[in-house]
A and B are shown apart, each in its own frame.
Chain A
Amino acid sequence: MAQPATSISGDLTSVEGLLREELARGDRSLRGVAPVLAHMLASPGNAMVTDAIVARVRGMLEHLARQLLAAERAERMGDAARGSADPPEDVDALAARLASDHVVLGHSYVLAMESHLAERLERRASVDPVLSPLLQELIASEKPATAELAMATLAAQSRFIQSQRRMDMPLAELPAELFLSVIECWQNAASESNREDVPRGAVDRLKRSYDEGASRGGLLARLVSAMGNGAVAALELEHAGLALFATALASRTRQPRDNAVIACHESQAARLALAFRAAGMDAAAIERQFLVLEPGISVPEVIGKLAPDRAQAILAQSEARVMDIER
């Protein structure tokens, strides 16, 4: 578009700016089409991004937004707030804001993937997504403390599967760093949209009620830690179930749990094989695990020759960007 030579009215400038911005937004959307389309075409079986995953992630982000807005409303209006719902446009705006935070988005994605993988394992290898044989053994433990922890974990895991079916993501289940990111997103969104600031009381209330050790992630990690050296048993996927397995693998290979979950996707076989090796498993044991998870994939036997700490080093170099959670 040619620039008008004469002086431009203020109005026109802002219209132009607006259009320019819109166009840039359109450009960004267009740029996104090719990689997404290429990815979906290239992975006919189990893509890393599917409609189901996208829907779940969207649902989870909306649920987060609803919880935050409800907390805000409760703080402002007290009991009168009960029962009423927030306007959908507010929920959408906050959810979009949360989606633009890659760390939050990445974690939501991993949880969606975890429940997807758990469902697949149930269908394919009859691994119960909630109560695995190992968890059952732990609940029957002679040590009351371990048994109690295992019971709490069972409850948390069953809540997780349930909330995944409802595409929910309770705030209290987020890792601490993410919990803070979400709160920060919320506060920024409020101050930028010229709304009133998020009331301090609402933030404090949420923070006070937060306890990472009581979240599913925290309970799983505590349980694995309580197993001590027995945690090797949790590296048997069929025996431990995906949730305990992922936590144990992450703990033994000192990587974020999210990475361990992602490693179970069929496109990430190398990541999983390296993690197994870093955890000290031999080639035969690794082969057995792959038979449960992805019977189609054969593991090269040389993996057994790689020193565990080399495997660990190679893993540590991987970027695994989607779930860039600082730990």
Chain B
Amino acid sequence: MIERGDTLLAARGLTDADDRLVNADEPLAELQIACGGRIPGMLAVPELLELVRQARGMGLRIAREFGAHDGEELVTGFVRIQPRPDSEGAGCEVLVENWQRHPRTLAGAGEFAEQLDAIDRASAEASGRLDARQRVQLVNAGAPDAQELEQAIAREPGRVWTDYVTLQGIAHRQPLHWRLLDGAHCLLPGSQRSWRIRLLPLGSESTAPAGFEWLLVPEEPLAEATGHGDEEKQAASGHSRLIGSALTPVLRQPIARIIANAETIRARLAGPLREEYTEYAGTIAAAGQHLSGMLDDLADLEVVEAPGFSTAREKVDLADAARRAAGILGVRAQGRDIVLDLPGEGDDCLATAEFRRVLQVLMNVIGNAIAYSPAGSRVTVRTHRAEGEEGQHRVAVTVSDEGPGVTEQQATRIFDKFERLGRDNDGGSGLGLYISRRLARAMGGDLTVSGPESGAEVGGAVFRLDLPAYPAGKPA
């Protein structure tokens, strides 16, 4: 193990032999998710992945700088990677020091605009030339769904470009000044996609261009096989997949754009702005994040509700799972001064379940405990062994907090779908506990809640995840 007595350490993560990130502290976990990855899931931070592969390939402890974009900011740090021996899973331990975020530095406005133009030129799927009065001189359709536009222009050449397309959100009589049309959105005949128009003036005089470079940039890739090959989606095949696979990809993109634009406004990247407005932008961004989290929940919901849904049966060390979940949530707990009291190292309480699902349930329950108990209080996680009915061995994890607790009436409703217990402004979807209980039951266990244990000094809710025990004496 690499020494890490110092406080420069910002995050620790573990990867397995296939470079999947199996667990990570919060900053690293957030970066992984911002880069489009999951936990556990393939390491999604390209520079880190490269370094982890390198270290694993060489079998050497390496120490390198790395940088990554999380979509909003440049994240830099110094990473030390230690390959683990085969006996410990043949992955790598990843330690990140000096985690730093830098707001994206924008080059001079002119240069920045040039870069944007270059990006649009590269991503345009149809392009052409317009004369000084915006009449189409020629067009080249690269994408199949732009062919119809090309044919329309061939049938009736020489008209203003806006005659061939349906402009969106611009009702003014055409043609408008080119500056107002540059960046407009439109629909093309025969195309399902939304397109963005760029008009780049030609000639030296910018007030009266001699003509225009006409770029048609699609807003999304041409829809074809959209399957992500996700095992969960395959498991859900045959089930009506309205939200998870049908709506999620469609919603994700506009929501991501709302968040990105709101963040841009909030950070005043486009220029100075009054304080209130940046706050509004912050609210918009937060609402967007909420929607985005909701989408994830809805996708999960569909998976657990699919008729064929099942979980893997593997040996899970509950204390270890609890510690990992707490590790990921550690920063959030610190932020609220909440002490996480976890089962100790020697505590081995083995269940038969699927590790990542157990982790998901525990993260949900511990996350709730952190969110709903008073700042400065304590959240206690314990493992238990119990004799079940008919001699079946059961194991359990309990998570108890010092929050307001749950009444008996609430306890019956809390696991219902979309139940928020009257809270409506804290970013929850009302699905977390429902999904968690479904997961627990799919693994042959259950998730229950009770009020404070009799005799406990402080009140609070106690959530209990029961699971079948891993048979004693069975080889690991």
Contacts and interface: CB of A to CB of B under 8 A. Distances in A.
A149 B6 contact: yes
B78 A210 contact: no
Given A145-B7, A146-B8, A221 B63 contact: yes
Interface stretch (A45-53, A54-62, A211-219, A293-301): A211-219
Contacts of B62: 176, 212-213
B2 to A, nearest CB: 7
B6 A145 contact: yes
Interface in B38-96: 54-55, 58-65, 76-78, 80
A188 interface: no
Given A222-B78, A226-B98, A228-B100, A212 B63 contact: yes
Interface residues on B, range: 20 to 34
A91 B221 CA distance: 61
Nearest to B83: A207
Contact of B60 (A148, A212, A222, A225): A212
A253 to B, nearest CB: 12
Given A145-B8, A148-B6, A180 B77 contact: no
B60 A218 contact: no
A81 to B, nearest CB: 25
Contacts of A251: 65
Given A222-B97, A225-B98, A228-B98, A213 B8 contact: no
A179 B77 CA distance: 24
Interface string A286-327: 000000000000000000000001000000000000000000
Contacts of A17: none
A170 interface: no
A28 interface: no
Interface string B1-14: 01001111000000
Nearest to B76: A225
A213 B100 contact: no
Interface string A190-214: 0000000000000000010011110
B422 to A, nearest CB: 45
A226 B60 contact: no
Contacts of B8: 145-146, 149, 222, 226
Contacts, number: 64
A207 B55 CA distance: 11
A82 interface: no
Contacts of A145: 6-8
Contacts of A143: 7
A210 B65 contact: no
Interface residues on A, range: 20 to 34
Contacts of A177: 58
B97 to A, nearest CB: 6
Contacts of B80: 212-213
Contact of A180 (B58, B65, B97): B58
Contacts of A226: 8, 78, 97-98
A144 B7 contact: yes
A231 to B, nearest CB: 10
Nearest to A215: B63
A174 to B, nearest CB: 10
B104 to A, nearest CB: 14
A63 to B, nearest CB: 20
A207 B59 CA distance: 7
Contacts of A179: 60
B380 to A, nearest CB: 31
Most central of A145, A213, A228, A251 by chain B CB within 10 Å: A213
Interface in A118-154: 143-146, 148-149
Interface string A247-263: 00001000000000000
Nearest to A203: B59
Contacts of A221: 63-65, 78
A225 B78 contact: yes
Nearest to B102: A229
Contacts of A144: 6-7
Given A225-B98, A226-B97, A210 B61 contact: yes
B60 A180 contact: yes
Contacts of B5: 148
Contacts of A207: 59-60
A218 B61 CA distance: 11
Contacts of B54: 176
Contacts of B63: 211-213, 215, 218, 221-222
A210 B82 CA distance: 10
Nearest to B63: A213
Most central of B7, B8, B76 by chain A CB within 10 Å: B8
B78 A212 contact: no
A180 B54 CA distance: 12
Interface of B: 2, 5-8, 54-55, 58-65, 76-78, 80, 97-98, 100, 107
The 8 closest A-B pairs by CB, nearest first: A213-B63, A145-B6, A225-B78, A218-B63, A212-B63, A211-B61, A213-B80, A145-B8
Given A149-B8, A225-B97, A226-B97, 16 more contacts: A145-B6, A145-B8, A149-B6, A176-B54, A207-B59, A212-B62, A212-B64, A221-B64, A222-B63, A222-B78, A222-B97, A225-B65, A225-B76, A225-B77, A228-B100, A309-B107
16 contacts: A144-B6, A148-B5, A176-B54, A176-B55, A176-B62, A179-B60, A180-B58, A207-B60, A212-B62, A212-B63, A221-B78, A225-B76, A225-B77, A225-B98, A226-B78, A309-B107
Interface of A: 143-146, 148-149, 176-177, 179-180, 207, 210-213, 215, 218, 221-222, 225-226, 228, 251, 309
